[in-house]
Structure 1
Amino acid sequence: MSTTIADPNAAFAAEKAAQITAAGSAERAFQARIDRGEVRSLGGDRYEVLTGWDRGEILSAPCNAAGQIAQIIAQHGMDTRTDGTIALYASSPAWHGLGQIIPGGTTDIDTVLDLSGLDFEVTTVPALYQYGGELREHTDQRHVIRTDTGAALGAVGGRYTPIQNRQGFGFLQELTGSTDVVWESAGAVRDGRRVFVSIRLPETVTVDADGINDLIVPYVVVLNDHSGKGQFQCVVTPWRPVCGNTERFALRDAVTRWSVRHTAGATDRIKEARRTLGLSLDYFEQFADEEAALARTDLEIDEFHKIVAGLWPLDDDATSRARTSHARRLGLIDAGFRTEAERVGRTAYAAERAITGYLDHVAPKRPGKTMTEEIARATALIEGSDDETKSKAHKRLMLLTRR
């Protein structure tokens, strides 16, 4: 049975408030978490959780007129369905605690389409304009609209063929060769312009089983764009449940992203997708071997700073504002490294965790006109806009394993 939350932010805030009330004053309890190193300030009323099941969660803790914490709200960045619930289905609670949850997941596509808010189709209509008092048609262009609301999602060329949300589910079934796929998650961002569906592969990867014994869970995610500004994509994503960081590295010959333009028969190219994605144990074993090598490579703080400086270089003639921003970034990443080092040792693996954690949960994201920063952050995480930086960090840290 699914769990529907009428007002998810209020429900989550109430749950947090109840926990804090049980411990005493909200302000003292929250400050105690900060003092214990469980939560850190990101500036303003935003905080990041550093420990526990909700590690990586971003909280907003606004104060009342008396300067006391009034409530604690989880930031999410998902679309909202017409009934006010979050456009998200998941087989287990997400890091923000929202959405419609079916413990253990379901194989029923219709249920997932409903709970995730993806039970809509899109179509294209003529692009019309007014000129000289008459309505004319732009024959080389069409508009993509939702058939349930009529909302315009984007402008496309005349040859554009929509790929429906349901087709993304069918594509994953064919890709894995199974009609009994258990759906891990599905949802929408940007008012339905971007949607995603994911499955969890049966294989799991353990990094340095005799040492840190860190678990990596491989997922396959379909990303579909209805705005005309993106392609239909499929991504292999090694995901660390502990912190929610995603890794998508171009490991030598293994390419982990496949995409295709919106054309007739686009989702029929299964063989090409399988070959490009490298869906095999070899890929995951190679990934685990490289991560284990990082976990066994000690790293001094000065070496870590050199890696960070190489990823975000500072020009000699940089302005004072740029220098301040650079110093703040280094401080945040450095704090992440120290936290990771306490968990897995002061190693290149801890450095990689700190860098990916910063990119996924802390680095400023410039939102679009209709997006909050948290929506921009959630979208960047799904779309993998920081993959290039993550891959560069991984390759530079791997060089240290060969010293």
Structure 2
Amino acid sequence: MSVDVNEAFADERATQLRAARDWERALQDRLAAGELELLPDGRYRVLTGWDAGEILSAQGVPQHGLDLSLGTAALYTAVPAWHTLGNVIPGGTSDIDKVLELGGIDYQVESVPAQYPWNGETRVDTTLHHTVRTDTGASLGVVRNGYEIIQNRRAFEFLQELANDDEAIWESAGALRGGKKVFVAMRLPQHVTVDADGINDSIIPFIVAINSHDGSSSFQVVATPWRPVCGNTERLAVEHAFTRWSIRHTRKATDRIKEARRTLGLSIKYYDRLADEETALARTDLAINEFNELIDSLWEPDDTATPRSTRTREARRDRLHALLAEETERTGRTAYAAERAVTDYLDHYAPIRPSAASGLKGNKPAARGLRLLEGTDDDVKSTAHRRLMLLRRR
């Protein structure tokens, strides 16, 4: 039976056009229903359902940056997320071995000498080594002598004690950039309530541990409050409370991890202090000029700015005021609303240009997620918090 190629092509193109129209119609329906929000760069933020807070590309496709070395996305999660990617255990688990396996981070890492060709022979650089995955043979990075590999299980197993003692649940785990960076997140059983007699805002407490195998960063454990109403990470420093703990990849690094269990007790107390300070901000009125002063203190004006940077600054100020207006409708014009506006801007709207060195060039959503995970903007958030706390003492 012969096939009319032109007719077949026309049918295929008609099918593609129908699919595009159906997708566009579905997208507009979701926007109209308040399920999606159009972001300034043309992407979309999911506002409802299991995927609330996730970012879609301009074509409506989620971009994740998860490790795909073994053919599937390296992700374990306690709730359906990442748009069907990864392995889901509804409600989560407290079994670390299951978490490592399903999160695709149960591999080992070895150090091998760095070699290079020279005049037809292979030479060894005795000052450098490659870190290599033993399951795929992939090189993860080049490190100097003295670099101590912290295996994934050793890095995260101390949190198992927290799960056993306090009924905490492993919320998620996974690998990024081909396994160069791995993470686990543990959800603590108690919730934090801000201004229980007023706005009654809920913050979910997490402990996140992050390990790297490419020499780019230390092993870190951070307290990471998450605000479900907008998907913000409320990670900021409060008075006399621990928020971050790190270990460099040097000798005896794995021995120092044993200290983490004691330190975690201090990080859990952080959430009590956080609730107290955020409640104080929720009860502190804010004038518009005070918000403008806050913006200028975080992003200082530049008298020599170019027209382009001036437009960027004006766009940032406009966005921050719009976010403040949204928060004011719900919580009143308070220092708390101002802090939420700054956090929302940093988490979801601030410009980001992922470099080739990051391994995420061109993938802004994944790069933004990595910024949240690593706390790139924590210092700005903490500065805003400290300045707003001064208003409380007027």
Q: Same fold (TM over 0.5)?
A: yes
**Deviation of 1:29 (Å):** 2.1
Larger Rg: 2
| 1:67-216 superposed matches below 5 A | 72-80=60-68, 82-83=70-71, 85-94=72-81, 98-174=85-161, 178=165, 182-216=169-203
Greater Cα offset, 279-288 or 155-164: 279-288
Structure 2 stretches of 5 or more lacking a match? 1-17
Asked if the contact 1:173–1:179 (Cα under 8 Å) also holds between the matched residues in 2, the reply is: no
8 Å CA contact retained: 2:167, 2:188: no
Distance across 2 between alignment mates of 1:149 and 1:233: 25
CA distance in 2, matches of 1:322, 1:127: 43
The Cα shift of 1:305 comes to 2.0
The alignment status of 1:239 with 2:226, answered yes or no, reads yes
3-state SS of the aligned residue for 1:93?
coil
Contact 1:235 1:277 in 2 (8 A): no
Question: Which residue type is aligned with residue 321 of structure 2?
Answer: D
User: Of 374, 377, 384, which aligns to 2:368?
Assistant: 377
Pairwise CA distance, 1:104: 1.0
Deviates further, 179-188 or 161-170: 179-188
The letter for the 1-side match of 2:38 is R
TM-score (norm 1): 0.84
Deviation readout 1:334-355 (Å, 9 max, x if unpaired): 2221122222222111111111
User: Quick check: 1:57 aligned with 2:54?
Assistant: yes
Q: Which amino acid aligns with 1:382?
A: L
Aligned CA RMSD, in angstroms, stands at 2.8
Aligned residue type for 1:392: T
Aligned residues: 372
Task: Flag structure 1 segments of 5+ consecutive residues without an equivalent.
Answer: 1-16, 63-71
Q: Any conservation in 1 of the 2:242–2:267 contact (CA below 8 Å)?
A: no
How far apart are the structure 1 equivalents of 2:97 and 2:245? Answer: 26
Partner of 2:292: 305
Residue 46 and residue 377 in structure 1: after superposition, are their counterparts in 2 closer, same or farther (change >3 A)? same
1:121 is matched by which residue type in structure 2? Q
Q: Can you list the C-alpha shifts for 1:52-104, whole angstroms capped at 9, x where unaligned?
A: 76553322243xxxxxxxxx323433333523x32211112347664322111
Equivalent pair of 1:128/1:136 in contact (CA under 8 Å): yes
Q: For residue 391 of structure 2, what is the aligned residue in structure 1?
A: 400
Secondary structure of the residue that 1:199 maps to in structure 2? Answer: strand
Does structure 2 retain, via aligned residues, the 8 Å contact 1:76–1:96? no
Partner of 2:32: 32
Q: 1:28 to 1:270 in 2, by over 3 A?
A: closer
User: Which structure features the higher share of helix residues?
Assistant: 2
Contact 1:260–1:266 (CA<8 Å) still a contact in 2?
yes
State the partner residue of 2:256: 269
Percent of residue pairs bearing the same amino acid type: 56
- Aligned residue for 2:233, secondary structure, equals coil
1:140 deviation in Å? 1.7
Amino acid at match of 1:79: D
Describe how 1:253-332 pairs up with structure 2 within 5 A. Answer: 253-270=240-257, 272-274=259-261, 276-277=263-264, 279=266, 282-332=269-319
CA shift at 1:159, angstroms?
1.9
Contact 2:220 2:247 in 1 (8 A): yes
Residue of structure 2 equivalent to 1:355: 342
Deviates more, 1:273-282 or 1:292-301: 273-282
TM-superposed deviation, 1:119: 2.2
Report if aligned partners of 1:254, 1:277 keep a CA contact under 8 Å in 2.
no
When structure 1 is superposed on structure 2, of 201-210 and 267-276 the one drifting more is: 267-276
- Secondary structure of 1:73 counterpart: coil
Q: Distance in 1 between matches of 2:70 and 2:372?
A: 25
Secondary structure at the aligned position of 1:42 is classed as coil
Measure how far apart 1:246 and its partner are: 1.5
Counterparts of 1:387 and 1:161, CA distance in 2:
27
* 1:385 partner amino acid: T
